[in-house]
């Protein structure tokens, strides 16, 4: 079986770890081998967070630079930073255009790069880049905190994973508390639609 490698990049508080776990649990439910690795920044909220997912024949949770089939970027700058390192040539990058300003930018020590500058860097690795405002779609679903489900929906629609929307939504029903399920399901569906519209 082909090994599928996905890197999820964002900042603390965006739900990157929940998205990583849902993909892994879906893989397990489909009787697939899966390895995940997670790295945290210096702060729970606002620091960089990254998830590595390998589905198939993988012996380490960590993806080596230049080997990821897909990048799921929850924040524009973090997506670029991780994408240029881990995404393979011609891999798929799905990027939330929403910016979360780090302390250095808020304090005036640094300037946040323009979106076109960051996308230009990603294009050195791949032309397969889908950028949209996932946070606005999450707000449309009912809460910006559901950005992670919008992004997961987009990934599910991309056909990168060895399973699709049906399998992930079934796992969401098992894993997400009932009071949050409707919100997350709506956000997931908006993500699938956004990805398809981008094609």
Query: What CATH number is associated with residue 55?
Result: 3.40.920
Q: In the prediction, which pLDDT does 61 show? A: 85
Nearest to 121 by CA among 144, 96, 93: 93
The stretch 17-35 carries a mean pLDDT of 95
Asked if the structure places residue 183 within a domain, the reply is: no
Taking only the tens place, the pLDDT of each residue in 131-159 is 999 999 999 999 999 999 999 999 999 99
Give how many domains the chain has, as a whole number: 1
| Residue 162 predicted with pLDDT over 80 | yes
Nearest to 80 by CA among 61, 93, 70, 65: 93
Asked if the structure places residue 34 within a domain, the reply is: yes
Q: Are the C-beta atoms of residues 147 and 182 closer than 8 Å to each other?
A: no
Taking only the tens place, the pLDDT of each residue in 100-123 is 766 676 777 788 788 899 999 999
Asked if the structure places residue 171 within a domain, the reply is: yes
Strand partners, 131: 95
Asked if the structure places residue 82 within a domain, the reply is: yes
Nearest to 10 by CA among 51, 55, 69, 42: 51
Domain ranges, residue 168: 4-134+159-175
Q: In the prediction, which pLDDT does 43 show? A: 46
Q: In the prediction, which pLDDT does 113 show? A: 83
| Residue 45 predicted with pLDDT over 90 | no
Q: In the prediction, which pLDDT does 44 show? A: 53
Q: Are the C-beta atoms of residues 31 and 187 closer than 8 Å to each other?
A: no
Asked if the structure places residue 100 within a domain, the reply is: yes
Q: Is the pTM of this model over 0.75?
A: yes
| Residue 87 predicted with pLDDT over 60 | yes
The stretch 42-69 carries a mean pLDDT of 84
């Amino acid at each position: 079986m082909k090994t599928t490698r996905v890197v999820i990049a964002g900042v603390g508080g965006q739900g990157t770890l929940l998205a990583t776990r849902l993909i892994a649990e879906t893989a397990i439910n489909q009787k697939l081998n899966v390895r995940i690795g997670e790295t945290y920044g210096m702060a729970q909220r606002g620091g960089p967070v990254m998830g590595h997912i390998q589905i198939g024949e993988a012996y380490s949770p960590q993806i080596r630079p230049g080997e990821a089939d897909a990048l799921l970027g929850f924040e524009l700058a973090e997506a670029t930073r991780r994408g240029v390192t881990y995404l393979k040539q011609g891999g798929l990058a799905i990027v939330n255009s929403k910016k979360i300003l780090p302390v250095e930018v808020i304090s005036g020590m640094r300037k946040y790069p323009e979106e076109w500058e960051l996308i230009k860097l990603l294009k050195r690795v791949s032309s397969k880049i889908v950028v949209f405002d996932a946070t606005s779609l999450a707000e449309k679903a009912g809460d910006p905190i559901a950005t992670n489900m919008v992004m997961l929906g987009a990934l599910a629609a991309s056909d990168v994973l060895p399973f699709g929307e049906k399998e992930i939504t079934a796992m969401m029903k098992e894993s997400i508390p009932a009071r949050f399920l409707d919100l997350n399901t709506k956000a997931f569906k908006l993500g699938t639609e956004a990805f398809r519209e981008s094609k």
